[in-house]
Amino acid sequence: MRADRLLSMLMLLQSRGRMTALDLAAELGISERTVYRDMEALSIAGIPVYAERGPGGGIALVEEYRTNLTGMTSDEARALFLLNIPLPLQQLGVGGELNAALTKLAAALPESSRKEQLAARQRIHLDALWWGQRARPGPHLSVVEQAVFQERRLAIRIRTIFEADIDLEVSPLGLVAKASEWYMVALRKDAPQVYRVRWLLRADLLPDRFNRPQDFDLERFWRVYCEETEADRHIYWATVRVSTHMAKRLRWYVGEAADEALEKAGPPDEKGWRVVELPFENVEEARARLLPCGRDVYVIEPLPLRLGLVDFATQITRLYAEEQERSQG
């Protein structure tokens, strides 16, 4: 273990330059006294490492000491080090290993490329979480990962959207993180199915293994699955009339599909209204999204959606009117 630690210290000093003994100790999980002992071991091994005391001091390598990684352009180095440790990899528990690998790679780069690395990370940051989304992979992610790599069958209990609990036995083929939400792709009755890991109430490894289909390609399957899911999502269409005022803000109410709908719509009439067709998953979503638009959106069809909006608006009006009468009475 000490050899690994000495190599890690060397890579840290090469990639970051001068570091205090306190910072090195925190990075390596050791005491400051051990840092100085390891520094002495590196020096005995011929590594030109030295320490300076006082403000601005620290432990560093002689500037000329470098192990260059040749053949990598500055643009390639910049692109590589835009990769901060993604949240899904941290949830899988491999963030530390990836960070160590990037540190070793950075240590092998020439000085100019290491400056590119620092500049890139100070200017671009990748955040995989959507607004309001919390990082909740669920308690069974590690068990599913273990089953995937060991090709072990799983006994799972999953809660459906109808609040029913179902017990299943599946053969996990892979894990996919989409917008930091983990999904398990697993065989059930010889067909790949997709299960949200966070919805698993139980996940137990079974002793029997399964034979992974040799022709199964996780990336290809997921691409087709997403395309089919997106195509099936928008199955409820509404034809509406939109005011000029609302056309500028429609996407904030009904999503990005509003942009394409407005592009396909004809020119506004003499009063500034446009007729557009908007896709929704179902009538409930259409009603929930269009109700806040008030009088700036008029539903032409389907009729049940229009009547539903009228009913909800009437209920709201009646509620507040009755409350006002009670307060005045």
CA distance 167 to 206: 14
Output the CA torsion sign for 172, 176, 178, 182. positive
Provide the residue type at 283 as one letter: V
Tell how far CA 122 is from the center of its chain: 20
Under CATH, to which class is 141-227 assigned? mainly beta
pLDDT digits (tens, 9 = 90+) for 33-51: 898 888 888 887 778 888 8
Q: What is the pLDDT averaged over residues 82-108? A: 67
All CATH 2.30.30 domain ranges of the chain, comma separated, are 141-227
In the chain, count of helices (H) and strands (E)?
14, 10
All CATH 1.10.10.10 domain ranges of the chain, comma separated, are 2-61
Backbone angles phi, psi at 88, to 5 degrees: -60, -35
Residue 65's pLDDT band, with cuts at 50, 70 and 90, is low
Most confident of 68-82, 194-208, 243-257: 194-208
Backbone angles phi, psi at 205, to 5 degrees: -70, 135
CA distance 269 to 311: 28
CA distance 168 to 150: 19
Q: What is the pLDDT of residue 86?
A: 66
Q: Give domain 2-61's CATH number out of 1.10.4190.10, 2.70.150.10, 1.10.10.10, 1.10.1380.10.
A: 1.10.10.10
Pairing of strands 49-52, 58-61: antiparallel
Backbone angles phi, psi at 156, to 5 degrees: -125, 155
Cβ atoms of 169 and 206 within 8 Å: the answer is yes
Q: What is the pLDDT of residue 133?
A: 65
pTM of the predicted model as reported, rounded to 2 decimal places: 0.57
Q: Kindly give the interhelix angle for 2-16 and 95-108, rounded to the nearest 10 degrees.
A: 60
Pairing of strands 200-209, 152-159: antiparallel
